[in-house]
């Protein structure tokens, strides 16, 4: 994929809540057993574990005691984007949840994650305890649903090609090659 690294592009996290209000009581989240018994985990969990093994990511699903609603995490990402720290925060969130089994549904946990990514812990706690950014994140989430995003991660490439879910590098390579072919046709 090295030949595709010279192109320009950007990446932004679009908020899509996992475990929305239709599925659970947001104050408690889903227990590990509820998640493992769900059809979604049966369908997606194996693929995620396989993709993780291929990339040497040691997922620790057994340490994850509950799966929280992710609205607070999306607010943190929204805040971090404005501070120039989105990528670092997202990386730390994934590490905390999937590698350490941390409960990312609590403000204190999220503030510690943010600090690891270079943000001020106390400022993040104050932000998450406020209503700042709530409307904006809900608007971004509604836009994601409007364009058809139902799962994460979800990548839109060149405004035309979409890749949803945990995918191997080959899926991206194929999409990049298709984009390259499309661009070549359009420049003739």
- CA nearest 75: which of 154, 2, 131, 6? 131
24-76 pLDDT tens trace: 344 455 555 555 555 555 455 566 777 777 778 887 777 877 778 888 999 99
Q: Under a CB-based contact definition with an 8 Å cutoff, are residues 77 and 89 in contact?
A: yes
- Nearest 10 degrees: Cα torsion 103, 105, 106, 107: 130
Give the residue with greater pLDDT, 166 vs 92: 92
* Rounded Cα–Cα distance for residues 17 and 103 (Å): 15
Q: DSSP assignment of 95-125, as one string?
A: IIIIIT---TTSHHHHHHHHHHTTS-HHHHH
pLDDT band at 23 (very low <50, low <70, confident <90, very high): very low
Question: Which CATH superfamily includes the segment(s) 10-148?
Answer: Glutaredoxin (3.40.30.10)
The backbone torsions φ and ψ at residue 15, rounded to the nearest 5 degrees and listed phi first, read: -70, 120
Mean pLDDT over residues 97-114, rounded? 93
Query: Does the predicted TM-score (pTM) go above 0.75?
Result: no
- Angle of helix 134-146 versus helix 71-82 axis, rounded to 10: 110
Q: DSSP assignment of 21-69, as one string?
A: TTTS-TTT-EEHHHHHHSHHHHHHHHHHHHHHHHTT----GGG--EE--
Q: Under a CB-based contact definition with an 8 Å cutoff, are residues 65 and 103 in contact?
A: yes
Output the average pLDDT for the chain: 78
Domain boundaries in the chain? 10-148
Q: Under a CB-based contact definition with an 8 Å cutoff, are residues 136 and 78 in contact?
A: yes
Measured over the CA atoms of residue 48, residue 50, residue 51 and residue 57, the dihedral's sign is: positive
């Amino acid at each position: 994929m090295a030949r595709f690294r010279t192109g320009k592009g950007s990446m932004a996290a679009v908020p899509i809540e996992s475990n929305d209000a239709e599925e659970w009581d947001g104050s408690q989240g889903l227990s590990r057993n509820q998640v493992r018994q769900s059809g979604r985990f049966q369908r997606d969990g194996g693929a995620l574990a396989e993709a993780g093994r291929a990339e040497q990511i040691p997922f620790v699903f057994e340490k994850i005691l509950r799966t929280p609603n992710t609205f607070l995490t999306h607010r943190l990402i929204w805040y971090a984007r404005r501070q120039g720290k989105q990528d670092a925060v997202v990386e730390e969130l994934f590490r905390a949840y999937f590698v350490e089994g941390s409960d990312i549904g609590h403000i204190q946990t999220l503030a510690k994650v943010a600090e690891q990514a270079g943000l001020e812990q106390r400022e993040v706690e104050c932000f998450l305890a406020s209503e700042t950014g709530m409307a904006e994140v809900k608007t971004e989430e509604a836009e994601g649903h409007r364009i058809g995003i139902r799962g994460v991660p979800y990548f839109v490439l060149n405004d035309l090609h979409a890749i949803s879910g945990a995918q191997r590098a080959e899926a991206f390579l194929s999409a990049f090659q298709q984009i390259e072919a499309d661009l070549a046709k359009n420049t003739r």
